[in-house]
């Protein structure tokens, strides 16, 4: 039975090639699910999605977010999403391309978000991850940090933390680390 399907697929490809059509690439289950997730995205007006490799590569995209409130208000933050072939059984790999002073994002752009690790379930989707990122910017969590220095400052002196965030977003040094302007 499987050979019959493979034979029919080969015949269909040969027919398409003979009449000048490029062979149609069959979408994987991960691509189909991701296509559905992207079509159902509910982005805020300050969030955009782009496909740097073109619309044919759905598995790699970027989200640009500008928080409307909180410490990071008016900043622009870009996240890359790499969706694995095993999606939705495994979450997307998310990195922050914008260098940011944040307790839950380290200086290499790694993101500490529980749904990207141990709390991921196949019923979750890309929209859930994006809302998790929104939450990180409105309520940074000093209890589960990747940037321990920023977490300690947030915990001990929220006013100093706010000043550090503003300095970093304006393009300046926090300690010995330089942050490019993102406002």
CATH of residue 107's domain is 3.10.110.10
Dihedral of the alpha carbons of 159, 139, 142, 171, in degrees to the nearest 10: -60
Provide the domain limits for residue 123: 35-174
Q: Is residue 3 part of a domain?
A: no
SS3 content of the chain, % helix, strand, coil (to 5): 35, 15, 50
Structurally, the chain folds into a number of domains equal to 1
* Structure tokens, 14: 């040969």
- Residue 61 falls inside a structural domain: yes
Q: Which pTM was predicted?
A: 0.85
Task: Say if 10 falls within a structural domain.
Answer: no
* Domain annotation covers residue 4: no
5 domain residue, yes or no: no
Catalytic residue list: 112
Residue 121 lies in a domain: yes
Does residue 155 lie in a domain region? yes
| pLDDT tens, N- to C-terminus, the chain (183 residues) | 455 556 656 666 666 666 665 556 678 999 999 999 999 999 999 999 999 999 889 999 999 999 999 999 999 999 999 999 999 999 999 999 999 999 999 999 999 999 999 999 999 999 999 999 999 999 999 998 999 999 999 999 999 999 999 999 999 999 999 999 999
Query: Is 1 within the bounds of a domain?
Result: no
């Amino acid at each position: 039975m499987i050979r019959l399907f493979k034979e029919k697929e080969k015949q269909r490809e040969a027919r398409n090639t003979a009449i000048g059509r490029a062979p149609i690439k069959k979408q994987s289950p991960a691509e189909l699910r991701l296509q559905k997730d992207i079509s159902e995205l509910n982005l805020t007006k300050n969030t955009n999605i782009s496909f740097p490799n073109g619309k044919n590569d759905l598995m790699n995209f970027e989200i640009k977010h500008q928080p409307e409130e909180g410490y990071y208000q008016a900043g622009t933050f870009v996240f890359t999403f790499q969706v694995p072939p095993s999606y939705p059984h495994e979450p997307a790999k998310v990195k922050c391309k914008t260098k940011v002073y944040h307790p839950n994002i380290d200086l290499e752009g790694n993101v500490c978000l529980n749904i990207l690790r141990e709390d991921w379930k196949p019923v979750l989707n890309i929209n859930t991850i994006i809302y998790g990122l929104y939450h990180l910017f409105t309520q940074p969590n000093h209890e589960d940090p990747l940037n321990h220095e920023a977490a300690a400052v947030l915990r001990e002196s929220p006013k100093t933390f706010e000043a550090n965030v503003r300095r970093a977003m304006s393009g300046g040094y926090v300690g010995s680390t330089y942050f490019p302007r993102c406002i």
